């Protein structure tokens, strides 16, 4: 864990590096942004950042650390700028006196967040920051194990996270809650889904068989935020779904389930949930990338051919 002085230094480095080259922001205006997948836009924008970094191809450890700080700082600016430009608004410059979490919410809405909003979003970012060797993290390691650059590693990771089997679960949770509409409808809708053997998004985990320890923290924040917003139904619906699915299928909620209502209560567009996942997980990707560089070995799995044999050439 960092010492207090080291943490303060990193926070300042992030604040000082959040500005994004204007050319990258302008690129958001060169295509039909309202019909572009936000993760596709983010993937391209992060790749573009490397074109403006004079150290992009420098592979010394100190240079790689500096690039890691730049990417982590700028990725939140990219996501918020995309969201605003898509809505016909201009991007908002970051404030160097705000925390990373507060800056994101400020750049997205144009309003300084309340303390509870900053706390909730910061907790969500921390809880999503890293999670061992998931698909996107493995992708990042594979990419940089070839001694490709840091920007390539993060761009590759974003491409992996874009897939709906990895990212996007909390967006689907919010879609389900919206379709159910009220606490009174939960019982019939969820039991119908279970009877039809439909997957209930936000439950179960490949690693946590006995429950995702991250979920309880987001559940607490969901309860607080929805109450403040006067929209307790999102929390109440979530709890009722939780009780049914866990009780009847022994599937506890994962980190995605309650993060959906947390982000919704922060007035974040639902299709930005996965880019926010990327904003958080970038810290994990970068840590893995730097670790890979420090003790590198090319990642080259073997493949066994299982197709038809002894084919006759005609």
> Of the residues 205, 217, 264, 288, which is catalytic?
205
Known catalytic residue: 191? no
Considering all CA atoms of the chain, what is the largest pairwise distance in Å, rounded to the nearest integer?
A: 73
How buried is 29 (Cβ within 10 angstroms: 0-12 exposed, 13-18 middle, 19+ buried)? Answer: exposed
Q: Which helix (H) or strand (E) holds 35?
A: none
Alpha-carbon dihedral angle through residues 101, 103, 109, 111, given to the nearest 10 degrees? 110
Contacts with 308 (C-beta within 8 Å, 6 or more apart), sequence order: none
Known catalytic residue: 256? yes
Q: Determine the distance from the C-alpha atom of residue 127 to the mean position of all C-alpha atoms in its chain, rounded to a whole number.
A: 10
Q: List own/partner pairs for 190-193 with CB under 8 A and 24 or more apart.
A: 190/241, 190/244, 190/245, 191/244
Q: Quick one: DSSP state of residue 271?
A: G
Tokens of 122: 């910061």
Compute the distance between CA of residue 69 and CA of residue 75 in angstroms, rounded to an integer.
10
> Of the residues 53, 256, 264, 288, which is catalytic?
256
- Catalytic residue ranges: 205, 256
């Amino acid at each position: 864990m960092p010492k207090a002085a080291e943490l303060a230094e990193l926070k300042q480095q992030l604040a000082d590096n959040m500005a994004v080259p204007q050319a990258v922001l302008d690129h958001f205006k060169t295509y039909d942004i309202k019909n572009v997948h936000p993760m596709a836009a983010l993937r391209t924008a992060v790749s573009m950042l490397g074109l403006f970094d004079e150290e992009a191809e420098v592979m010394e450890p100190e240079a790689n650390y500096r690039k890691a700080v730049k990417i982590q700082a700028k990725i939140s600016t990219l996501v918020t700028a995309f969201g605003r430009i898509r809505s016909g608004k201009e991007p908002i410059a970051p404030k160097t006196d705000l925390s990373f979490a507060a800056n994101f919410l400020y750049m997205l809405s144009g309003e300084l967040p309340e303390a509870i909003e900053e706390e909730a979003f910061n907790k969500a970012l921390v809880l999503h920051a890293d999670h061992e060797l998931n698909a996107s993290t493995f992708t990042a390691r594979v990419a940089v194990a070839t001694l490709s650059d840091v920007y390539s590693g993060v761009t590759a990771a974003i491409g992996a996270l874009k897939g709906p089997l990895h990212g996007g679960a909390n967006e689907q949770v919010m879609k389900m809650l919206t379709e159910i509409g009220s606490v009174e409808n939960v019982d019939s809708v969820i039991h119908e889904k279970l009877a039809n053997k439909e997957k209930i998004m936000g439950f179960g985990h490949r690693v946590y068989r006995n429950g995702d320890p991250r979920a309880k923290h987001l559940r607490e924040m969901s309860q607080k935020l929805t109450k403040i917003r006067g929209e307790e139904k999102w929390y109440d619906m979530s709890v009722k779904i939780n009780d049914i699915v866990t009780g009847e299928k022994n599937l506890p909620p994962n980190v995605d389930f309650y993060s959906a209502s947390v982000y919704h209560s922060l007035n974040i567009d639902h299709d930005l949930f996965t880019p926010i996942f990327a904003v958080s997980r970038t810290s994990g990707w970068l840590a893995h990338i730097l670790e890979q560089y420090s003790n590198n070995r090319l990642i080259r799995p073997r493949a066994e051919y299982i197709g038809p044999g002894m084919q006759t050439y005609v």
